[in-house]
Structure 1
Amino acid sequence: MTLILGANQYGKAESRVVRIVRDTARHEIRDLNVSTSLRGDFADAHTTGDQANVLPTDTQKNTAFAYAKLHGVDSIEDYALALGNRLLEATPAAAQAQVRVEEYAWDRLGDHSFVRRGGGVRTAVVTVTRSATHVVSGVRDLVLLNSTDSEFKGFLTDEFTTLPETDDRILATALVARWRHGTTDGVDWNKSYAAGLDTLLQTFAGTYSRALQETLHAMGTALLESQPDLAEVRFSAPNKHHFLVDFGGFRVDGLTNDGEVFIAADRPYGLIEAEVIRDDAPPAGDAWLAVPGFC
C-alpha cells in the first residue's frame, strides 16, 4: 500500500486590518477581517519538513497590513485582488492564492467619530491563479423580516406532521448571499455591491412569499437581471421562525393575540439554500473553493 499526500493549503486566518484615511480632517475608516491561503507545490513541507518553498503565514499577515497602506482599500474586492496577486508573485511554488475579506461597516458621527453599524457584513472571496482570476462578492448576517405577505400551506404531511398551515406569517432570515462576477475588467466594485444589496432588499420587501424558497429565487433573478455581468448568486437562508404566543391559558379577561405577540425561536431552524445561475455564464473554475458552507 502506498500513501500519498492529498490536497493541501495553508495561510493566515482572520487578520483584523483597520485602515484609517487621515489625508484630511474628515477621516475615513475601513474595518476588515482578512484571511489568505496558498495552494501549490508544498509537498516537501509536509513530507520532509523542508520549508524552502513556503512563504510564512506571518509574512502573509504582514503583507495584508502593508497593502492596506500601499494599495489602499477603495473596495474590498480591489484590495483582495492586489493582495492575492502579490502573494502569488512572492511564492513561486504557489499555483493559487485566495483572499477572503469581510468588512464591518461604521456610521459617521462626526469628522473623526464613528459608531459600528449592526447590519450585514460585506464579504469578498478573490481567487488568483496563474491563468485566471475569480471574484465572489456578497453579504452575510443580513437580518430581514416581513411581518406579513407570507404564507406556508399545501405542504406534504404524514403522521408526524404537526405544523399548521398559515396564510399570514412572519418571514424572517439572517441571509448569506454571494454572487460571482463573470468578469473582473472595469468593475466598479463599490457601485456593484451597493446596487446588488439594494436589489436584494427591495425584492425581499416587495415579493409576496408562498415560501422562503420562492423569495430567494425572486431575489436571485432580480439580482442577475439588474447586473448582466454577474454569473450566478448563491443563498443560504435560515428560516428565523416566529411562533404566535398562545394566550389561551392566561386568566386575563379580554386578552387576545391577534397576530401581535410572537416567540422568536433560536433553534432548530429550517435552512434553505439555493443558487440562481445565468445559463450562458462563464465557468466558475476555482471561484467557490474554500467558500464556507453551501455558498
Structure 2
Amino acid sequence: MLSIQKNAKNVEALIKAADVALYQAKLIGSDTYNLYKHEMRLDIHEKFHIENDLRRALEKNEFSLLFQPQYHIATNQYCGEEVLVRWDHPLEGLISPDRFITIAEETGLITSIGKWVLQQACLQKKIWIEKGLPEVPISVNLSLRQFLQQSIVEMVAEVLEESELPPHLLKIEVTESVMIDLDRTSTVVKQLLALGVKISLDDFGTGYSSLQYINQLPVHELKIDQTFVAGIGKGKQAEEIISMIIQLAHSLSISVVAEGVETKEQLLYLTQNNCHKIQGYYYSKPLTGNDFELFMNGLQ
C-alpha cells in the first residue's frame, strides 16, 4: 500500500513503489499489506543485490569456514569446535552472516548454503581425525528453516555417509526458535538422535520459553548466549540468568557451554558456578582450517 500523493511523480514511479511495497509484504508474510516508504527502496535494493550475489556465491566458491575451539573448564582441555561461515565477496570483502543469513532464509537459499556448510565441516573433521587430531564433536548450526524442512534428517544422513564421519562426532546446533513448532521439532530431534548425532540448543535464554519446553526435548547440551556472558560483572540480572541456566542443565544431566567468553573475570564466574565448557576469544578467535590445525597441533 502506498500514498499516491507522496510517491507518484509518474506512473512508472508509482508502479515501482508498489512493487517494492509488495515485495516487502511478501517477506513479512501472506495475507498482509505494507506501506511504502522511501527508505524501504534502499533496503530492498540491498536485499536484491545480496540475493543475486548469494545465488552466484556457491557456484564461485566464495564461502569459507572458520572454526572456534571449545574447552572443558575443569580440565582446561580442548573438547570440540563450532563451525562458522563467512562470505568472501569479490567486491565487498568478508561479509558476516549477520548480513546475509536472514536474506538466505527468506529466499530459501539457506537450504543449499546450509548443506554445503555441513558437507565441508564433516569432510574437514574426517581429515583431522585421519591426521590424529582428537576425536571430539564438531558443531554445525542449522537455521529454523533448515531444521524444519521435511528432508533434513535424510540430508544429514546422506552427508554423514558421504564424508564417512562417525555420527557421534557431529553436533547439530539449533536455536530456541525451533520451539515455534514443538511437535515437529521433537520428531526431528528424535530422528537425528537415532542417527547417532548430538543436539545442542544454542543461544539459550533469549528466545521462546526455554524453561517451559526444554524437558520435552532430549538435547545433549545448552549454550548460554554471549549477551549474558558479556553482562558478567556488570549487573546481577545476567549473572542470575546464567546461574539459572547452569542449574537447569545440571538438573537435566546435560552439558552447558558459555559462548563469547573474553575475560578472566567471566571465566572465573563461570568456573565458580560450575559451567562445563567455554568458547570465546579468551582461548581463541575463530580460525581458518589451516590455522585451526596448526593451533591444535601446538596443543598436543
TM-score with structure 1 length normalisation?
A: 0.28
More helix by share: 2
Larger RCO (CA under 8 A, 6+ residues apart): 2
Larger radius of gyration: 1
More strand by share: 1
TM-score with structure 2 length normalisation?
A: 0.27
